[in-house]
């Protein structure tokens, strides 16, 4: 996948993750967005080699919530 394709993939994946975050948190939108973009999960997601983009937005949201609550997350087992 080239850089343009990967950027397009992120543009598709991130909005549903943000929607989950905003629906399920009591923090202001700009702060929620800032926290997500500063997270370890987003850093890994934005690295194509991590292959996190293979996971669904809901799975990625759950991983993000784990990071927020515990400081880390586990990679789900793939079926």
Distance CA 3, CA 34 (A): 23
Instruction: Kindly report, residue by residue over 50-78, the tens digit of the pLDDT.
Output: 999 999 999 999 999 999 999 999 998 86
pLDDT band with cut points at 50, 70 and 90 for residue 28: very high
| pLDDT score of 79 | 47
pTM of the model: 0.90
């Amino acid at each position: 996948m080239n850089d343009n394709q990967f950027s397009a993939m992120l543009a598709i994946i991130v909005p549903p993750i943000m929607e989950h975050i905003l629906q399920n948190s009591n923090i202001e939108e700009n702060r929620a967005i800032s926290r997500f973009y500063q997270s370890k999960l987003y850093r890994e997601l934005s690295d194509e080699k991590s292959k996190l983009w293979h996971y669904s937005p809901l799975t990625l949201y759950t991983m993000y919530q784990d990071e927020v609550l515990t400081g880390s997350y586990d990679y789900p087992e793939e079926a």
